[in-house]
């Protein structure tokens, strides 16, 4: 048996958290706590880079698979990665250290506990992306609620209690139906092992109901219209690092779930429910873009833009075309980077002025030029300017959509325009214009750590915008096989 | 002559009770001695049970009126361990109320004896005898803090209502005896050919009585008042130990003599289960006293346990037993925390008293966090697995309605558990509580919290132990 690299990825943050747990939480110790957490997450990132390098891109079968008996004759602890999941793991391990660097500006009290929560969160998220057993997946998927609930509730803004409850109960409500479906799959097919289920297939007469049960969970988590309302609240109240985790990684769990489980396990039902997903996605794209236009709170605006972007993702996945699915994966990755960066940008000005309202800013380009440049880069990436990462995904999704359904694609294309509208308008109102608020003159430009974080995010945003090839090489074979398997299943039906 | 070794634990406990009673009467100031000897008695009883009966398959004794099988051994051991820990924790609490008397351990012992008889009973008469023995001891325990009005009220209320339910139960027994000609479970099962409808009446009466004992909706009215009024350690005892015994009888009564009538009773159990789950979840939301809240939450948890019983399969029974075992551990942990909320010899039991606990007592709050999330059934904590097994068994029988209602009510229940967590973690802090606690309290809290937290690493052991229980 090889070195259990995936399990160590999952375990390392927990070990770090345990270590932190036994250090004393004093003010002078905060720095130590931060270094410990940073060390654990950076090592984790390096391991995942190694994982990516040694990953065999020519096959779609799962690699680095580990399997252990967990509950005898019932569930095996099984993890593994393919071309789709490995990139999400990379995203997770890349974003988490940045979150940890960003905390010294945002989190004032109980820093140690905050870092523990973030580390545990990272473990669970990596677990979600490499679980190859439905029950193990569910376990990680749900367990992430606990640290996120605490992150929002303890370190959040004034309405944090309401938001934390809303977040927790909404997502829990969505997930319990998935649990029923998972247990049903066990009794129908005799296993919850994903690889075995791919081969066995699930009886067509059960697929629709099971698909809906999974959908209820993923739709809430994505979030899709009309169950997206928890997201703006959670984002607005969460501390910056929490918003970043939420936007960059948590939302991707559902998109990943759609690809891995909804399409993979229920091909026939996915075909049946495509119109439903299309409708909801298009509504999400158009409707929430309009809502985003009307927002006065910067964080809320970006939260709504997340909903719109995730609308593109679900649209792309259910085109069930090569381009569409690849585009969705790329879109999720780019949204992971860009939305994280945007939330951090909002965090930067919020830390200085303690206001998230757009109208309290304006004309800051002369005061903090470095910030304004980086903010512009991410704004442009968010609206999908060619040459930025945001463009690649959106373009592919629309290409896939045009192949599948012309009308939907046309409507969705309007979303791109709206996206440009609200993002540019936001940028204009915050950065350009006349300097009205005198307090703004005292603002300092980016400090070292902020500069570091935003540059770390800017580099891949530009790099993969010009040269997304390495990512495509990784996902290509897996996606092709997924689509082929899907088409085969449909044909045999 | 039957092999008396098999009932050695019961014989030993009953002799000890008599001995301790005499000791207590004749020796002055012997409460500490009685207390310690009772602990020893329970320990010995545990060892005897493990030695004499644990590996045995089904054996009946005394003309089939007592049965020793895997279920009875396991449930007796859980009962005894539960009683042992409760008794251990009690001393500090009782001392601070100045009710540390010889009667307390003796009453606990005699109620445990009653439960052991219940668990092993294979005959309506024996079962009733055991039930009354434990109930009588519990009435007195509920009103043990007799100087307090609430405690006396709790005892009286429990006595009146429980006596009523015992009456119904006895009426059911007589009906069954009248129509089947026997009180023995096996004999009834063999003669179960005619008069099914008449027997159903008997079953319903007995079910009402039993549902009262485990406080399933709609026979739960007594629980909140009694739980609130009784001394906290007695409440802990109420929420843990009698439920195990009553659940065992529930299972044995339904599955041994009346398995063929499953069509008649299954709907009743499903109703009890759904009603308890929903009511327990909703009624707990408005509570301000933790003990009352626990009463409602225990009603909800009984609902989940009954969901397993309703399936009519061995897997269902096993899942119920797993559920109740994990539930007992969670309750032990919760009450250990509750007993730590002490300041200047005064115990606090309002939910608001937990406000901001995490600032001054980070470890205690962390334990509470784990316990409450586990009670809410969030993975990867033990409470999730308890629910998981139950719903696995329920869905195997295609009882989707029960499963979905059950899981939706966990979402409602999650709300009030979250509310407590919110108060502990998000609210303003209050005065510090004492931090020097007895070794018993510390031990039981650490032990049970670690069990809850790390259960997911070794889930197989409990399942293997329980999977040997085969009733049908």
Chain B partners of A123 at a C-beta cutoff of 8 Å?
none
CB contact under 8 A, A71 and B459: yes
Specify if A110 maps to a domain: no
Chain B partners of A146 at a C-beta cutoff of 8 Å?
373, 378
Cis peptide before A223 (omega within 30 of 0): yes
- For residue range B224-241, list pLDDT tens digits in order: 999 998 999 999 999 889
Q: Is the pLDDT of residue A306 over 80?
A: yes
- For residue range A8-61, list pLDDT tens digits in order: 888 888 888 888 888 776 655 577 788 888 898 999 899 999 988 888 888 888
pLDDT at B11: 92
Q: List the single residue in A with minimal CA-CA distance to B384.
A: A139
- The 3-state DSSP class for residue B56 equals coil
* A444: region left, alpha or beta (phi > 0 left; psi from -120 to 50 alpha): beta
Name the nearest CA neighbour of A391 among A416, A411, A408, A358.
A416
pLDDT at B433: 85
CB nearest to A150's CB, from B388, B396, B425: B425
Helix and strand tally (H, E) in chain A? 21, 2
Average the pLDDT over each of A21-30, A187-196, B22-31 and give the range with the smallest value.
A21-30
Hey, CA dihedral for B108, B109, B110, B114, is it positive or negative? positive
CB nearest to B408's CB, from A70, A160, A176: A176
Q: Is the pLDDT of residue B2 over 80?
A: no
CA A39 to CA A34: how far, in whole Å?
Answer: 8
Name the nearest CA neighbour of B89 among B325, B290, B340.
B340
Q: How confident is the model at residue A105 (pLDDT cuts 50, 70, 90)?
A: low
CA B172 to CA B167: how far, in whole Å?
Answer: 9
CB contact under 8 A, A165 and B418: yes
pLDDT at A493: 67
Residue partners of A49: CB distance under 8 A and separation at least 6: A90
Specify if A310 maps to a domain: yes
CA B326 to chain A, closest CA, distance in angstroms equals 16
CB contact under 8 A, B391 and A179: yes
CB nearest to A153's CB, from B410, B422, B463: B422
Chain B partners of A164 at a C-beta cutoff of 8 Å?
418, 422, 426
Q: Is the pLDDT of residue A104 over 80?
A: no
Specify if A115 maps to a domain: no
Q: Is B370 on the interface with A (CB under 8 A)?
A: no
Q: List the single residue in B with minimal CA-CA distance to A187.
A: B396
Chain centre to alpha carbon of residue B387: 17
Chain A partners of B414 at a C-beta cutoff of 8 Å?
168-169, 172
Q: List the single residue in A with minimal CA-CA distance to B418.
A: A165
Q: List the single residue in A with minimal CA-CA distance to B356.
A: A154
Q: Is the pLDDT of residue A117 over 80?
A: yes
pLDDT at A19: 87
Q: Is B463 on the interface with A (CB under 8 A)?
A: yes
Specify if A4 maps to a domain: no
pLDDT at B5: 82
Q: Is B164 on the interface with A (CB under 8 A)?
A: no
Chain A partners of B391 at a C-beta cutoff of 8 Å?
179-180, 183
CB contact under 8 A, A149 and B418: yes
Q: Which residue has the tokens 């809430």?
A: A220
Q: Which residue in A179, A181, A187, A212 has the most chain B C-beta atoms within 10 A of its own C-beta, making it the best mutation to test that interface? A: A179
CA A62 to CA A132: how far, in whole Å?
Answer: 9
pLDDT at A34: 82
Q: Kindly write down the DSSP assignment for every residue of B184-201, as one continuous string.
A: BHHHHHHTTTS-HHHHHH
Specify if A412 maps to a domain: yes
Angle at A298 between CA A292 and CA A304, to 5 degrees: 30
Q: List the single residue in B with minimal CA-CA distance to A181.
A: B395
Q: Is B456 on the interface with A (CB under 8 A)?
A: yes
Residues above pLDDT 90, as percent of chain A: 10
- For residue range A450-486, list pLDDT tens digits in order: 888 888 889 998 898 888 888 888 888 888 888 888 8
- For residue range A203-249, list pLDDT tens digits in order: 888 888 899 999 999 998 888 888 888 888 888 888 888 888 888 88
pLDDT at B1: 54
- For residue range B93-105, list pLDDT tens digits in order: 888 888 888 889 9
Domain range enclosing A434: 272-493
CB contact under 8 A, B414 and A168: yes
CB nearest to B415's CB, from A25, A143, A169: A169
- For residue range B450-463, list pLDDT tens digits in order: 999 999 888 888 88
Q: Is the pLDDT of residue A1 over 60?
A: no
* The pair of three-digit structure tokens given for residue B17, joined into one six-digit string: 């009770």
How many Cβ pairs within 8 Å bridge chains A and B? Answer: 80
Angle at A264 between CA A262 and CA A266, to 5 degrees: 55
Q: Is the pLDDT of residue B267 over 70?
A: yes
Q: Is the pLDDT of residue B42 over 90?
A: yes
Q: How confident is the model at residue B37 (pLDDT cuts 50, 70, 90)?
A: very high
Specify if A227 maps to a domain: no
Q: Is B221 on the interface with A (CB under 8 A)?
A: no
Task: Report chain B's mean pLDDT, rounded to a whole number.
Answer: 89
- For residue range B43-58, list pLDDT tens digits in order: 999 999 988 888 788 8
CB contact under 8 A, B410 and A176: yes
Q: Report the number of distinct structural domains present in chain A.
A: 1
Residue partners of B137: CB distance under 8 A and separation at least 6: B107, B108, B110, B111, B114
Hey, CA dihedral for A195, A197, A201, A206, is it positive or negative? negative
Specify if A181 maps to a domain: no
Q: Is the pLDDT of residue A136 over 80?
A: yes
Instruction: Give me the interface pTM, i.e. the ipTM.
Output: 0.90
Specify if A421 maps to a domain: yes
Task: Report chain A's mean pLDDT, rounded to a whole number.
Answer: 86
Chain centre to alpha carbon of residue A2: 30
Q: How confident is the model at residue B118 (pLDDT cuts 50, 70, 90)?
A: very high
Query: pTM of this prediction?
Result: 0.92
* The pair of three-digit structure tokens given for residue A298, joined into one six-digit string: 């910067």
């Amino acid at each position: 048996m090889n070195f259990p690299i995936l399990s160590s990825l999952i375990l390392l943050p927990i070990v770090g958290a345990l270590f932190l747990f036994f250090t004393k939480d004093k003010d002078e110790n905060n720095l130590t706590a931060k270094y410990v957490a940073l060390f654990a997450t950076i090592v984790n990132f390096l391991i995942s880079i190694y994982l990516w390098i040694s990953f065999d891109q020519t096959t779609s079968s799962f690699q680095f698979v580990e399997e252990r008996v967990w509950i005898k004759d019932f569930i095996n602890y099984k993890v593994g990665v393919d071309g789709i999941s490995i990139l999400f793991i990379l995203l997770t391990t890349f974003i988490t250290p940045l979150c940890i660097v960003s905390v010294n500006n945002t989190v004032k009290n109980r820093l140690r506990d905050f870092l523990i929560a973030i580390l545990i969160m990272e473990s669970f998220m990596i677990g979600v992306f490499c679980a190859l057993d439905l029950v193990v997946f569910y376990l990680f998927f749900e367990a992430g609620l606990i640290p996120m609930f605490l992150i929002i509730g303890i370190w959040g803004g004034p309405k944090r209690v309401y938001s934390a409850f809303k977040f927790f109960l909404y997502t829990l409500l969505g997930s319990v139906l998935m649990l029923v479906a998972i247990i049903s799959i066990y009794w129908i097919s005799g296993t919850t092992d994903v690889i075995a289920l791919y081969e066995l297939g699930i009886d067509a007469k059960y697929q629709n109901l099971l698909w809906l049960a999974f959908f209820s969970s993923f739709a809430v988590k994505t979030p899709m219209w009309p169950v997206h309302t928890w997201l703006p609240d959670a984002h607005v109240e969460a501390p910056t690092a929490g918003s970043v985790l939420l936007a960059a990684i948590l939302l991707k769990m559902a998109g990943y779930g759609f690809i891995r489980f909804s399409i993979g396990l229920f091909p026939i039902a996915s075909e049946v429910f495509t119109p439903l997903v299309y409708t909801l996605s298009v509504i999400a794209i158009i409707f929430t873009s309009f809502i985003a236009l009307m927002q006065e709170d910067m964080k809320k605006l970006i939260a709504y833009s997340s909903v719109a972007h995730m609308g593109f993702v679900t649209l792309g996945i259910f085109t069930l075309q090569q381009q569409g699915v690849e585009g969705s994966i790329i879109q999720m990755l780019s949204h992971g980077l860009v939305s994280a960066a945007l939330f951090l940008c909002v965090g930067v000005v919020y830390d200085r002025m303690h206001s998230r309202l757009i109208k309290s800013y304006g004309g800051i380009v002369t005061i903090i030029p470095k910030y304004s440049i980086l903010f512009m880069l991410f704004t442009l990436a968010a609206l999908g300017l060619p040459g930025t990462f945001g463009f690649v995904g959106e373009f592919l999704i629309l290409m896939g959509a045009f192949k599948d359904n012309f009308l939907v694609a046309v409507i969705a294309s309007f979303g791109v325009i709206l996206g440009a509208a609200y993002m540019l308008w936001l940028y204009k109102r915050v950065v350009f214009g006349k300097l009205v608020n005198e307090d703004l003159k005292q603002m300092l430009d980016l400090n070292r750590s902020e500069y570091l974080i935003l540059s770390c995010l800017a580099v891949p945003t530009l790099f993969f915008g010009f040269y997304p090839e390495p990512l495509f090489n990784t996902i290509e074979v897996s996606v092709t096989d997924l689509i082929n398997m899907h088409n085969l299943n449909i044909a045999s039906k | 002559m039957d092999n008396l070794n098999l009932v050695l634990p019961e014989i030993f406990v009953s002799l000890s009770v008599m001995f301790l009673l005499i000791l207590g009467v004749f020796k002055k100031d012997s409460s500490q001695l009685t207390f310690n000897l009772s602990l020893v008695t329970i320990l010995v009883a545990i060892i005897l049970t493990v030695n004499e009966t644990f590996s045995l398959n089904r054996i009946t004794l005394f003309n089939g009126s007592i049965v020793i099988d895997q279920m009875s051994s396991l449930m007796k051991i859980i009962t005894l361990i539960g009683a042992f820990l409760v008794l251990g924790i009690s001393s500090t609490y009782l001392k601070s109320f100045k009710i540390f008397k010889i009667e307390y351990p003796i009453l606990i012992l005699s109620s445990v004896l009653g439960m052991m008889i219940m668990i092993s009973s294979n005959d309506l008469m024996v079962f009733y005898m055991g039930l009354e023995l434990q109930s009588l001891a519990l009435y007195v325990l509920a009103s043990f803090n007799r100087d307090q009005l609430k405690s006396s009220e709790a005892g009286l209320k429990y006595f009146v209502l429980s006596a009523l339910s015992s009456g119904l139960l006895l009426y059911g027994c007589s009906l069954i005896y009248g129509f089947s000609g026997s009180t023995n479970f096996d004999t009834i099962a063999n003669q179960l050919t005619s008069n099914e409808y008449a027997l159903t009446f008997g079953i319903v009466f007995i079910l009402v009585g039993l549902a009262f004992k485990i406080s399933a909706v709609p026979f739960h009215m007594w629980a909140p008042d009694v739980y609130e009024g009784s001394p906290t350690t007695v409440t802990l005892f109420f929420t843990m130990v009698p439920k195990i015994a009553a659940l065992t009888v529930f299972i044995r009564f339904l599955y041994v003599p009346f398995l063929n009538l499953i069509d008649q009773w299954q709907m009743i159990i499903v109703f009890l289960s759904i009603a308890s789950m929903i009511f327990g979840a909703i009624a707990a939301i408005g509570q301000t006293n933790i003990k009352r809240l626990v009463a409602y939450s225990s009603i909800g948890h009984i609902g989940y346990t009954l969901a397993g019983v309703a399936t009519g399969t061995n897997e269902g029974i096993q899942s119920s037993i797993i559920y109740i075992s994990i539930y007992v551990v969670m309750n032990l942990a919760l009450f250990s925390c509750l007993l730590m909320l002490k300041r200047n010899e005064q115990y606090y039991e309002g939910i608001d008293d937990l406000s901001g606990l995490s600032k001054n007592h980070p470890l205690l709050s962390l334990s509470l966090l784990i316990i409450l999330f586990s009670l809410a059934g969030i993975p990867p904590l033990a409470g999730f697995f308890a629910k998981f097994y139950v719903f696995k068994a329920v869905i195997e029988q295609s009882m989707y309605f029960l499963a979905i209602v059950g899981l939706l009510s966990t979402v409602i229940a999650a709300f009030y558990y979250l509310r407590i967590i919110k108060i502990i973690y998000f609210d303003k802090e209050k005065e510090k509580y004492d931090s020097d606690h007895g070794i018993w309290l510390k031990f039981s809290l650490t032990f049970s919290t670690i069990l809850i937290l790390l259960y997911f690493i070794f889930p197989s052991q409990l399942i293997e132990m329980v999977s040997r229980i085969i009733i049908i």
